[in-house]
Amino acid sequence: MSFRLLSIVCALMASLAFAQGTEGPGSGPAAAAAADSDAPEAKEAKELVQKYLTAVKAKKWADAKKLLHPKTVEAIAERKKRMGKEDHPMAPWFHEKVDYFLKDFKMGAASLGALGTVMVEVTEDNFQVADKGMAEGEPSAYLVGKKDAKWFVVDKKRGEVFTKDSVKLGYKGWFDKIEKAEKAAPVDDTL
């Protein structure tokens, strides 16, 4: 390798090294999620998802159903009417017989989402019915939102998360309207 080529490679590598870490501490997505996890709404949502998953793990379906958003319950009923089965991510009683059932879970981070929602990340250990074996550490995300001033578990995604756009588009009209903070009155400095 020529000295000139080596010099160019070294200069490029040095510039890449300097570009690394240009963001200060606490400015990345992980820091944002950690900050969201401290919000009161995030704590309430995590508690609700934990209560829901505890009922699902114990196969206490009536208790789990009480924690579901009313429109989620409607969506499950609509699928049963249309398809003849309750094949919905929020119908674990259906999946228990044909696909998988929850054996254990570990709560993850909670982040604030669009329309006043909270997304709670969870890792799940599920028994796979057809394979007769465990699938451990499967990532899932639960969407939690308020309707009539009460928190509900709304939906679940396996292996992916809810984006702000997907919440805005897919769940329009599902949640209580968020009160916007009033603008501060202008200061009269003529006194």
Q: Residues 8-29: what's their mean pLDDT?
A: 41
- Would you call 45 helix, strand, or coil by DSSP? helix
Per the CB < 8 A criterion, the answer to whether 160 and 65 are in contact is no
Q: Residues 51-80: what's their mean pLDDT?
A: 95
Query: What percentage of residues in the chain have a pLDDT greater than 70?
Result: 74
pLDDT for position 71: 96
Identity of the residue numbered 14? A
Q: Residues 48-73: what's their mean pLDDT?
A: 96
Q: Residues 45-67: what's their mean pLDDT?
A: 96
pLDDT for position 101: 84
pLDDT for position 36: 60
pLDDT for position 67: 97
pLDDT for position 34: 47
* Average pLDDT over the chain, rounded to an integer: 81
First to last CA, the chain: 75
Residue 101 sits at φ, ψ, to 5 deg, of: -145, 150
Q: Tens digits of per-residue pLDDT, 90-147?
A: 999 988 878 888 999 999 999 999 999 999 999 999 888 888 888 899 999 999 999 9
Q: Tens digits of per-residue pLDDT, 26-44?
A: 444 444 444 466 789 999 9
Burial class of residue 94 in the structure, from the number of CB atoms within 10 Å of its CB (0-12 exposed, 13-18 middle, 19+ buried): middle
Residues 6+ positions from 67 with CB-CB distance below 8 Å? 48, 51, 52, 55, 152, 153
Per the CB < 8 A criterion, the answer to whether 152 and 168 are in contact is no
- pTM, full prediction: 0.74
Q: Name the residue with tokens 């609700």.
A: 48
Can you tell me the distance from the alpha carbon of 104 to that of 53, in angstroms, rounded to the nearest whole number?
9
* Range picked from 33-37, 64-68, 81-85 for highest mean pLDDT: 64-68
More confident residue, 21 or 4: 4
More confident residue, 37 or 5: 37
According to DSSP, residue 171 is labeled: S
Low-confidence winner among 34-38, 64-68, 158-162 (lowest mean pLDDT): 34-38
Residues 6+ positions from 171 with CB-CB distance below 8 Å? 115, 117, 143, 145, 154, 155
**Architecture field, domain 36-170:** Roll (3.10)
Q: Which pairing describes strands 133-147 and 118-128: parallel, antiparallel, or unpaired?
A: antiparallel
